[in-house]
């Protein structure tokens, strides 16, 4: 967890520094055209839309902690028909947008790396729990869906 803590603090601090003292991070600037920088907004909005869609699809199965609820069923509708972790896809998209918006590789990649590391750890635990709870039904779902993005067969 030490690398995750380091990356999370780096992401927060670099963002704050970029906002207050942008010249301090000039060394990590990316020469992106303004239109490319604006791509960060639709990426973030897409992430928020996927996040909302996924929480709506989960309905009564949604929990802010990865726990097995008594009446829980395996959700395979909405975005879950395409990906196993669409909420995390939403987070990845939202927290990838600073790379474009800031045009600064240090700000962007610290957010992406911290998010990916955190989600990778969570997913291992969640998928083990889902496999134990739903057995072959979950394992079949894994074969048909991607982790963060749709699997094209």
pLDDT for res 63 = 67
Residues in the chain: 153
Q: Domains in the chain, ordered, with CATH?
A: 2-144 (1.20.120.1630)
pLDDT at residue 70 is higher than 80? no
Contact 54, 116 (CB under 8 A): no
Lowest mean pLDDT among 27-36, 58-67, 104-113: 58-67
pTM: 0.87
pLDDT for res 61 = 72
* Strand ranges for 1-153 from DSSP E: none
pLDDT for res 72 = 79
- Give the CA-trace dihedral at 93, 95, 97, 98, to 10 degrees: -170
- Who's near 6: CB < 8 A, 6+ residues apart? none
Mind listing the pLDDT tens digit for each residue in 92-125? 999 999 999 999 999 999 999 999 999 988 899 8
Measured distance CA(92)–CA(86) in Å, rounded: 10
pLDDT for res 121 = 87
Mean pLDDT of 23-49: 96
Measured distance CA(85)–CA(132) in Å, rounded: 17
Q: How confident is the model at residue 153 (pLDDT cuts 50, 70, 90)?
A: low
Phi then psi for residue 38, to 5 deg, are: -65, -15
The residue ranking higher by pLDDT, 65 or 111, is: 111
Q: Which two tokens stand for residue 10?
A: 């780096």
**Residue 137 Cα to chain centre, angstroms:** 24
Q: Which two tokens stand for residue 3?
A: 């690398």
């Amino acid at each position: 967890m030490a690398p995750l803590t380091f990356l999370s603090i780096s992401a927060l601090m670099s963002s704050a520094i970029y906002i207050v003292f942008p010249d301090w991070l000039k060394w990590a600037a990316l020469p992106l055209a303004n239109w490319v920088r604006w791509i960060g907004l639709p990426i973030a909005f897409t992430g928020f839309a996927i996040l909302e869609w996924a929480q709506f699809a989960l309905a009564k199965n949604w929990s802010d902690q990865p726990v097995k609820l008594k009446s829980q069923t395996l959700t395979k509708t909405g975005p879950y028909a395409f990906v196993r972790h669409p909420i995390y896809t939403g987070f990845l998209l939202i927290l990838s947008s600073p790379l474009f918006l800031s045009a600064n590789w240090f700000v962007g990649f610290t957010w992406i790396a911290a998010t990916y590391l955190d989600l990778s750890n969570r997913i291992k635990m969640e998928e083990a729990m889902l496999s134990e709870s739903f057995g072959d039904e979950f394992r079949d779902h894994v074969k048909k869906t991607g982790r963060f993005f749709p699997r094209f067969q």
